Amino acid sequence: MRRKILNKLQLKIGDKAPLFEAITDNDTKLSFGDLIGKNNIILYFYPKDMTPGCTAEACGFRDNWDKILSLGATVIGVSSQSPESHREFKAKNNLPFPLLSDQKNEIRKLYGATGFVLPPRVTFVIDKGGVIKYILNSQLNVTKHVRDALENLEKIERSGEPIRG
């Protein structure tokens, strides 16, 4: 017997990034809409703080922070851990970007970044106009997330496309 899979929200390149609000690692509220028009954004969903793959991915973004800033971008990490867990993870790895607590998986659902067993590792590159320019869903190839995000930020900067509102 075949299992019926529910139709999940599937965002595509060219779609507007859904807006949301969430609590950061320092217990402040971040409104995603406040970033639109100011920065290109790397929004990445990761399974869990302190795990080897998630640490390697976060540190990859950290190690490329100056390049990310030079490309007019910022990074936002999202997982279901508490702000306290995020604070510890951020401090231990000296991460310069916010980590959002999505304990009810509401942001994951908005972005279609949900899974059956483990929360998936999904990265979105979003331009200053709030348009999704790149999506990568790869649980195991953590370095590809960083490399591909940087490549796509460079493409956005080279294209000189006007901001779409």
pLDDT of 160: 62
**Is the pLDDT confidence value at 164 over 70?**
no
Whether the Cβ atoms of residue 104 and residue 11 lie closer than 8 Å to each other: no
In this structure, the number of other CB atoms found within 10 A of the CB of residue 89 comes to: 23
Is 54 an active-site residue?
Answer: yes
pLDDT of 7: 36
Q: End-to-end alpha-carbon separation of the chain, Å?
A: 46
**Is the pLDDT confidence value at 17 over 70?**
yes
Indicate whether this model's pTM tops 0.85: yes
pLDDT band at 161, cuts 50/70/90? low
Structural domains in the chain, sorted by start: 21-157 (3.40.30.10)
- CA–CA gap between residue 155 and residue 13 (Å, rounded): 14
11, 35, 42, 54: the catalytic one is 54
Q: Of residues 160 and 116, which shows the higher confidence score?
A: 116
**Is the pLDDT confidence value at 144 over 60?**
yes
Chain segment 72-116, per-residue pLDDT in tens: 999 999 999 999 999 999 999 999 999 999 999 999 999 999 988
Whether the Cβ atoms of residue 82 and residue 89 lie closer than 8 Å to each other: no
Alpha-carbon distances of 61 from 102, 124, 149, 165, rounded to whole Å: 20, 13, 9, 27
